[in-house]
Amino acid sequence: MEIDLVYLVPFLAMLYIVYHYITKDNNYFHDKPIPSMATQPLLGSSWRLVMKKISLHEFIIEIYNKYPLVKVFGMFDMTTPVFVVRDPELIKRIGVKDFDHFVNHRSVFGNTDNNHPRALFSKTLVALNDQKWRDMRATLSPAFTGSKMRQMFDLVGECCESMVKFYQNEVRRKSGTKVHEMKDVFTRFSNDVIATCAFGLKVDSMGSVNNDFYTNGKKMVAFDRPIVILKMIGFQMAPRLMGWLGLDLFDREQNDFFTEIIRDTVRARDADGIVRPDIVHLLMEARRGLLKHQKETKEEEEVKGFATVEESEVGRVQVGKGMEMSEAEMVAQCLIFFLAGFDTVSTCLTFLAYELTINREVQDKLYEEIRETKASLGGGPLTYDAVQQMQYMDMVVSEVLRKWAPAPSTDRVCVRDYVVDDGERLKFTIEKDTVVFFPIAGLHYDPQYFPNPGKFDPERFSPENREKIHPGTYLPFGIGPRNCIGSRFALMEVKAIFYYMLMEFTFEKTPNTPVPLRLAKTIFGISSEKGIYVEFRPRV
């Protein structure tokens, strides 16, 4: 019995220490004049999401609707206290006006102080903090202007034409049509676009289904794997230890694969003086300080897509000779561009295909605009300027991004104490290092801002209606200086492929097309539970 007590006492003491550590902040919101969600040890308020009882998209809408009359409420994301901001004006204040108090994102995917050469995610633009982020944003921003997208458009167009030809040939070979799973189709397309635009490679993911670039990309974005989830918990609970161990969100195999591609590409271009209008070239220019921010013309400002985000002054600041960007930092920026295209853009394309399939009147109207655009080009190839002029296309894409926002929420970290004071009855302090959530999906589904939010209605974004949309309620690419730097590229890619595909095919429902659509219960992004199957039927 004495021996048992020798082991039991330390064990109980350890349990108490662990329990105290994971519950020490449970009373954080008790002295705040805002409501807060119930919490459970370790799993916090998001236990249903962590246990895969609900999709992230539905979870964000659910918690947003929990307190319909408040501007802010509290919750716990596992052990982290989080302020969820519902009020559009306060979102604008935090995201834009008082941005200096909320410069950083939360370090969920890696320690931003990790200087280990293999730790690539911590070197990406999305993971950098404070001045490092400002310098990198200013260095990269000129690479994503409308003029640079125009130069890169031919590369995107080549991928679009290749995809259309592949499915045309498939129909001829099999003397009929075939049903396709949209996520697979558009992940392969996005993979080829990123390969050519970011890595300078020609990849055919339709014909060569198991090419190395695609298979390594699939592994990289498999965020629901147990090892990745364990890493995320580690980064959240013990970021210093994870950094000391040199661990990264990405597996070493994928890190090495993509690093070698960039290394070989840069070496070859330096040696042979190769110039190609892609991201690698722009990064090489940025590193040399040769990439300058060009002011857009009045015409470019007028025709850009409604969802396109504005670059802030942070991104317009000239950083002299450019950053001393290491090879690892160059690879990291290509990788984050890859992740955005491989998963986020393919998600948007997947849900756009779905909505056009089940809303035939929208598909037909869009096709008529595509025919008119082709006629205006005199039979020539699609151009960047022609894409920008397609008004109904922009309305359709804007509505897809509202209804199926690829990022259902975004966050900021308070870098110094911030007083919330609405001038009425709400006044409290958001302490330094506390996390703030913007519930994007909740705002997009609030009938106060978007009546009948479950309906797919591109007319919300018609020229006469878009001016009525509150800028703090529509956030598909985020808000403020830390918005998505690649919004122009993403919109260009989405519109271009649907121009080419709808010119040749109608999108038809099949017995396996999910109506209504059920979302997969995942803690990352947004996807269909059982896939989205659509028939590509050649136009007569």
- Res 177: pLDDT: 61
Q: Can you give 308-350 as a three-state secondary structure string? A: CCCCCHHHHCCCCCCCCCCHHHHHHHHHHHHHHHHHHHHHHHH
- Which tens digits make up the pLDDT trace of 171-216? 877 655 689 999 999 999 999 999 898 888 888 898 888 898 888 8
* pLDDT attached to residue 379: 79
User: Mean pLDDT throughout 28-55?
Assistant: 87
Share of the chain above pLDDT 90, in %: 50
In the chain, the number of structural domains is: 1
Look at residue 350 in the predicted model and tell me its pLDDT: 97
**What's residue 506's pLDDT?**
96
In angstroms, the Cα distances linking 418 to 73, 102, 126, 228 are 16, 9, 23, 33
Helix axes 182-198, 487-504, angle to 10 degrees: 130
pLDDT at 446: 98
- Higher pLDDT pick, 308 / 235: 308
Q: Rounded to an integer, what distance in angstroms lies between the CA atom of residue 264 and that of residue 322?
A: 22
**76-90, 229-243, 381-395: which range is least confident on average?**
229-243
Q: Please determine, for residue 127, whether its predicted confidence score (pLDDT) is greater than 70.
A: yes
pLDDT digits (tens, 9 = 90+) for 220-259: 777 666 776 777 777 766 667 776 666 666 777 888 888 8
pTM of the shown model? 0.90
Q: What is the CATH number of the domain that holds 394?
A: 1.10.630.10
Give the pLDDT confidence of 342-378 residue by residue, as tens digits: 889 999 999 999 999 999 999 999 999 999 999 999 9
Picking from 61-70, 91-100, 325-334, 498-507, which range would have the lowest pLDDT averaged per residue? 325-334
Tell me what pLDDT residue 298 has. Answer: 56
Say what the pLDDT of residue 267 is.
86
How far, in Å, CA of 467 to CA of 220, rounded? 39
The whole-number pLDDT of residue 257 equals 86
The three-state secondary structure class of 140 is helix
Mean pLDDT, all residues of the chain: 86
Which segment of 257-271, 294-308, 455-469 scores lowest on mean pLDDT?
A: 294-308
Residue 43's pLDDT is: 79
User: Which residue did the predictor score with more confidence, 67 or 232?
Assistant: 67
Q: Is 484 annotated as a binding residue?
A: yes
Q: Which domain holds residue 388?
A: 5-538
- Rounded Cα gap, residues 313 and 134, in angstroms: 10
Asked if residue 134 has pLDDT above 80, the reply is yes
pLDDT of res. 303: 62
The predicted pLDDT at position 11 comes to: 65
At residue 283, the pLDDT reads 84
| Angular region, 73: left φ>0, alpha ψ -120 to 50, beta rest | beta
Q: What is the pLDDT averaged over residues 286-303?
A: 65
| Per-residue pLDDT at 3 | 54
- The whole-number pLDDT of residue 62 equals 96
| pLDDT band at residue 323 using 50, 70 and 90 as cut-offs | low
Strand 80-85 versus strand 72-77 pairing type: antiparallel
Average pLDDT over residues 417-441: 93
